[in-house]
Structure 1
Amino acid sequence: MALISLRIPDDMAVRFSALAVAEGGKSALIRRLIADALAVRAPCAAPLQIGRPEKVTLRFRDSEMRQLAEIAQRRGMTRTGWIVALVRARLGSPVQTCPDEREALRAIVRELNRIGANINHIARAANAGVQQGRAIETGLSEIREVKGVIESALTELRRIFGDNADYWRAGR
């Protein structure tokens, strides 16, 4: 069996450990997350090889170089970064993002993490109520609010991925 290890910030590790308790432990949760990710996203191309990339030299006319610079600048990328992203997108690699898209995705991840923490608090309070023999008073308005924020974040996530896929399709 393969071993995967990673380093994460201490505060994230504490929150992950708390979340993993209800999932059978950290290893069990990580295995489930990996299995879910693989089930959802079957690779459409061979994965990129890990290791040092090789250099490719391309020659363009001055007018093409100006066009490349303009296009890359509009995406907030360097010329080289834009060319590499274009080639990787055409090879079937995962989403190629520009700085604005990465920041939008980070904001969505932060919001979903905040929601996850709130849901954990709600679940913990509900569990404490059950253990103490009290009736659980569900905060329906809070749950509806969380549901709305999740739906909004997912809509924004779908939009970003859709816009990104549209951008890198041939003919752009």
Structure 2
Amino acid sequence: MVGGYVDAALAARFEAWARQTDGSASAALRRLMAEALEGQPPPPPRGSGTGRQIGVRFKDPERAALLEAAKARGTSPAAWLRSLALVHLARRPQWTPVEVEALRAVFHELRAIGHSVERAARRLDGAGDPAGTPGDAARVAAEQVRVAMRRVVAVMTGNFEYWGLPDAERPTAAPGAVERAEAEVRAAEARRKNRPRRRPPRATDGR
């Protein structure tokens, strides 16, 4: 570990700059030291993957807008740019942890409502005129809840081909999407089964 004492104002300015460029003061110091000593940037820290870093230049107003957008999403400018790139390249949404939890909460709430409505439908079927179907209205409501759940999953995953368009009256999978998804699952399962199994280490007798 390397440390040093600097003026508090200078330290604050450096930390603010480091958050915008490297994500943290320690990461910025590590990069600057490696570049000074070896003439090249250091390897990424453990757990950060093996991706390559790409530098992007912004004008002052653009940089300010980027910082504001990243701050609003509770993330760093680099992470915000990466999410935008992935959205464009992979055609999949990139949600922040807070947004994911919010969408999951909506899904769980809808599922709880659906279960309650289905129980009400079963109770209504056992009451009143046996020739009638008093639970039909509740079953229609339960189906609407399932449609809403499908819309939430479509928004979360961005897989509109499988889950359907969220703004459709009744989201449905595109032709062949279900079959392709099932084929991918079967192929993944086959690959898993064909992997060589690791043999447990043999017990030794101490020799």
Q: Give the structure-2-normalised TM-score.
A: 0.36
Bigger Cα Rg: 2
Structure having the higher helix fraction is 1
Q: Give the structure-1-normalised TM-score.
A: 0.41
- Flag the structure with more relative contact order, 1 or 2, with Cα contacts below 8 A and sequence separation at least 6: 1
